[in-house]
Amino acid sequence: MYEILKKTILNPTVARMEIAAPLVAKKAEPGQFIILRVDEGGERIPLTVADFDREKGTVTIIYQIVGATTMALNQLEEGDCLHDFVGPLGTPSHTEGLKKVAVIGGGVGCAIAFPVAKKLHEQGTEVHSIVGFRNKDLVILEEEFSAVSDKMVMMTDDGSYGTKGLVTNALKELLDAGEQYDEVIAIGPLIMMKFVAKLTKEYGVKTIVSMNPIMIDGTGMCGGCRLSVGGQVKFACVDGPDFDGHEVDFDEAMERATMYKEFERHQYDEACNLFQKEVR
C-alpha cells in the first residue's frame, strides 16, 4: 500500500498528490511514468512522474479528472492509500548535451513537461517554456515553470490569461524571431503535439513528443500501447513514451485512443451518480 502524504488542488479538475513510494523515488527520472490502481478491482492507469524526492522517498503525480478511475482517485485524501503503484516505467527523457530547448506543455501535459524543463534548467540548458491552457481557471504550475525557464510564454485559448491563442502560435513567433533550438519538447494532447510537430518540421527543428496511449501492464507484455513510429511498431511503455515527433503517426494514435470511448463514458456517468449519491 502506498500512502498519500499530500494532496493539493491545482484547478477545478486537476490535483497533485505526493505518494510515499521510496523505491520508485530512488530511480525515477523525468519522462518516466508509473502505473497505479486505486483499489482492489480497479483498473491500471498510467500517470507521469511529475516530480520526486529521493530523500523523502516520495513521488508526485498530477492527474486530471477525466473518467471513473481518476474520479475515484480524487476521492482519496491525505493519509489514504493507493492499492498499487508501480514504476518507474518507460525510458527517461533524453536531455544530455542540449544547449537551448523549447519546452511546450498543453493543459495537464504541463505536469509532464515540468520535470523535463526542471532537469534541463538544472543542467544549464537555456529553457524557453510555452504553456497553454483552455482558460485562466485551468492554469497550473505557472510559478514552477517560471522558476526553471529563461523565457516563458503563457497562452490561453480564450485570452482570459496571458496571450490569446494556441501554443503553436507562440512557437511560430519565437521561431520566426530567429530563436534557434536544439530541440523542441512538446507534451500535451495528441492534437497539440501533432500540430507542434507539423510546424517544427517546416522549420527543420528536431521535436520530441511524449505519447500517452492506452496501457494495461506498462512493462511491454501486451502491446496495447503500440504506435507507428517511422513506419515501425513501437511499444510506448518500453520504447517510449518519448518519440521523434516527425516520425509518429498521430492520426493512428488518435484513432486508437478512442477504442473504449463508449465504455469510458458509461463508467464515468456511473461513477458520477455513485459519488452524487454518497454526497447526499
- Name the binding residues: 62-64, 222, 225, 237
Which residues carry a binding-site annotation for [2Fe-2S] cluster?
222, 225, 237
3-state SS assignment for residue 1? coil
Query: Using an 8 Å Cβ cutoff, are 167 and 155 in contact?
Result: yes
* Region of 143-151, 159-167, 200-208, 214-222 interacting with another protein (CB under 8 A): 214-222
User: In sequence order, what E strands does 137-206 have?
Assistant: 151-156, 163-164, 183-187
- Beta-carbon count within 10 A of 80 CB: 15
Task: Spell 5-36 as b/e; 16+ CB within 10 A means b.
Answer: eebeebbebbbbbbbbbeebbeebbbbbbbbb
Please give the residues from 47 up to 106 whose contact with another protein meets the rule CB under 8 A: 68-69, 83-89
Q: Which is nearer to another protein, 182 or 217 (CB)?
A: 217
- By CB neighbour count within 10 A (0-12 exposed, 13-18 middle, 19+ buried), where does 92 fall? middle
230: contact with another protein by CB under 8 A:
no
Site size toward another protein (CB under 8 A) is 39
The only residue of 10, 30, 37, 193 in contact with another protein, by rule CB under 8 A = 37
Distance CA 106, CA 102 (A): 13
Considering the complex, state which of residue 41 and residue 124 has its C-beta at the smaller distance from another protein. Answer: 41
- Pick 43 or 173: Cβ nearer another protein: 43
Please report, in range form, the residues annotated as the binding site for FAD. 62-64
- Closer CB to another protein, 53 or 158, in the complex: 53
Instruction: Pick the piece of the chain touching another protein (CB under 8 A) from 115-123, 182-190, 195-203, 249-257.
Output: 249-257
Q: What does residue 248 show for φ and ψ, rounded to 5 degrees? A: -75, 140
> What are 48's strand-pairing partners?
33
CB of 231 vs another protein, minimal distance in Å = 10
Which residues in this chain contact another protein in the complex, by CB under 8 A?
Answer: 23-24, 27, 37, 41-44, 68-69, 83-89, 216-217, 219-224, 226-228, 233, 238, 252, 255-256, 258-260, 263-264, 267
